[in-house]
């Protein structure tokens, strides 16, 4: 379990101060959440005391203790609660109306953006609305419709294969069990968990590139293998949180904790993150890195949920807003 690099100071405050940062460097939440601010000022006093003790003459500097598993779990759950306040409208960013559409959209989302998939699926589902219709499609027609999502030959084979398997083995219905879903061509645990969590209400952790990156930055795990990441994160949170936790973490990864330039200086969970400082810490510069609704840009869904604070995405071929 990943605990290296998290200090005793974090342990004592349930991991609430990023290592190597001063309280003045910890940015206020963009949502203006007073709880985080209050805790930050409380921490400031504790840390000033700790520094005074450390600097007393004749005292040897102590090595920081690694974070205990219990402290890490408390910190992880606290991050989840904070993210729930920051992104109360977190949701799957693929447009879908039923389990079959979500399954197809998730297969298409490999190596491309959800936005590109959402721009592609309206025409696809107009032509092939059911597994039966898609199973009977001519491969070249299917390829042409899904071409904008990239890797269209391989994806077309997966869609034909999974539609045929749905018809032959599952009576034309998407099964609601992970053991069945992963037998479908092109469907792994990630896709299966997306479908189960969002179309069937069965809790699941979805480990995509954003989720894996963030949970490693949070030091919730050091695993790289998605299945091992899933197993370790499942052990930290109650089952009822799994699906929404996945959305919140992915929302945070897309909007603030970017792969190459995380906007640490504008991050509402900076006080809880051991990787604070990996990205831009200057609040002004960090704010300029924000995307999506926080930067006034449209989200990825053409039909976002009613409480979504940003703009719907434009359809394929529409001029940029």
Task: Give me the residues that bind ligand SF4 (CB under 6 A), please.
Answer: 217, 256-257, 262-264, 267, 269-270, 273, 275-276, 278-279
Question: Look-up: residue for tokens 């030091």?
Answer: 219
Please state, in angstroms and rounded to a whole number, the distance separating the CA atoms of residues 256 and 298. Answer: 15
Burial of 29 by CB count in 10 Å (0-12 exposed, 13-18 middle, 19+ buried)? buried
Taking the least distance from each CB to ligand SF4, the nearer of 19 and 314 is: 19
Closer by beta carbon to ligand SF4, 203 or else 262:
262
CB of 272 to ligand SF4, least distance (A): 8
Question: From the CB of residue 147, how many other CB atoms can be counted at a distance below 10 Å?
Answer: 14
| Nearest alpha carbon to residue 124 among 150, 89, 151, 148 | 148
DSSP letter at 320?
P
Whole-number minimum distance, CB 280 to ligand SF4, in Å?
9
Within 8 A by CB and 6+ apart from 236, the residues are 72, 73, 76, 77, 220
**280 touches 289 (CB < 8 A):** yes
177: enclosing H helix or E strand: none
Which pair of structure tokens corresponds to residue 91?
Answer: 């949701």
Out of 33, 65, 208, 291, pick the active-site residue. Answer: 208
Q: Which is nearer to ligand SF4, 194 or 264 (CB)?
A: 264
**Cβ closest to ligand SF4, residue 242 vs residue 276:** 276
Active site residue 261: no
Q: Which is nearer to ligand SF4, 162 or 273 (CB)?
A: 273
- What CA–CA distance (Å, rounded) separates 203 from 240? 6
- With b for 16 or more beta-carbon neighbours within 10 A and e for fewer, the 185-198 pattern comes to ebbebbbbbbbbbb
93 within 8 A of 84, measured Cβ to Cβ: no
What b/e sequence results for 41-53 when a residue is b if at least 16 CB atoms lie within 10 Å of its CB, and e otherwise? Answer: eebeeebeebeee
Q: Are 265 and 27 in contact (CB under 8 A)?
A: yes
Q: Least distance to ligand SF4 from the beta carbon of 179, Å? A: 34
**Which tokens in the block code for residue 291?**
């995307």
CB of 261 to ligand SF4, least distance (A): 9
We find the least distance from the C-beta atom of residue 15 to ligand SF4, in angstroms, to be: 12
**Cβ 218 to ligand SF4, closest distance in Å?**
7
Selected catalytic residue, list 95, 114, 155, 190: 190
Question: Is 208 among the residues known to form the active site?
Answer: yes
In angstroms, what is the minimal distance from the CB of 59 to ligand SF4? 30
Q: Which is nearer to ligand SF4, 137 or 264 (CB)?
A: 264
- In the complex with ligand SF4, the residue whose CB is nearer, 276 or 308, is 276
Please list the active-site residues.
190, 208
């Amino acid at each position: 379990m990943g605990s290296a690099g998290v200090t005793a100071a974090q342990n004592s405050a349930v991991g609430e101060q990023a290592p190597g940062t001063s309280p003045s460097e910890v940015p206020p939440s963009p949502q203006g959440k007073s709880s985080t601010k209050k805790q930050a000022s409380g921490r400031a006093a504790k840390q000033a005391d700790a520094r005074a003790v450390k600097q007393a003459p004749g005292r040897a500097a102590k090595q920081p203790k690694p974070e205990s598993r219990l402290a890490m779990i408390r910190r992880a759950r606290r991050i989840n609660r904070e993210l729930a306040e920051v992104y109360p409208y977190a949701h799957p960013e693929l447009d879908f109306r039923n389990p079959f559409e979500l399954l197809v959209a998730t297969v298409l989302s490999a190596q491309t953006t959800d936005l590109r998939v959402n721009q592609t699926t309206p025409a696809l589902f107009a032509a092939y609305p059911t597994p039966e219709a898609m199973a009977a499609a001519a491969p070249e027609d299917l390829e042409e419709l899904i071409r904008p999502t990239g890797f269209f030959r391989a994806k077309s084979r997966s869609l034909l294969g999974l539609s045929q398997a749905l018809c032959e083995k599952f009576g034309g219905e998407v099964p609601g069990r992970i053991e069945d879903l992963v037998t479908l061509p092109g469907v792994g645990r990630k896709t299966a968990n997306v479908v189960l969590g969002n179309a069937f209400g069965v809790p699941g952790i979805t480990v995509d590139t954003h989720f894996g990156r963030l949970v490693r930055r949070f030091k919730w795990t050091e695993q790289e293998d998605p299945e091992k990441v899933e197993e370790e994160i499942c052990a930290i949170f109650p089952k009822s949180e799994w699906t929404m936790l996945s959305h919140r973490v992915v929302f945070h990864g897309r909007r603030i904790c970017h792969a190459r330039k995380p906007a640490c200086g504008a991050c509402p969970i900076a006080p809880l993150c051991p990787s604070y400082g990996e990205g831009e810490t200057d609040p002004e510069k960090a704010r300029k890195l924000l995307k999506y609704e926080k930067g006034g840009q449209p989200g990825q869904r053409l039909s976002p949920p009613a409480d979504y604070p940003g703009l719907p995405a434009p359809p394929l071929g529409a001029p940029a807003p």
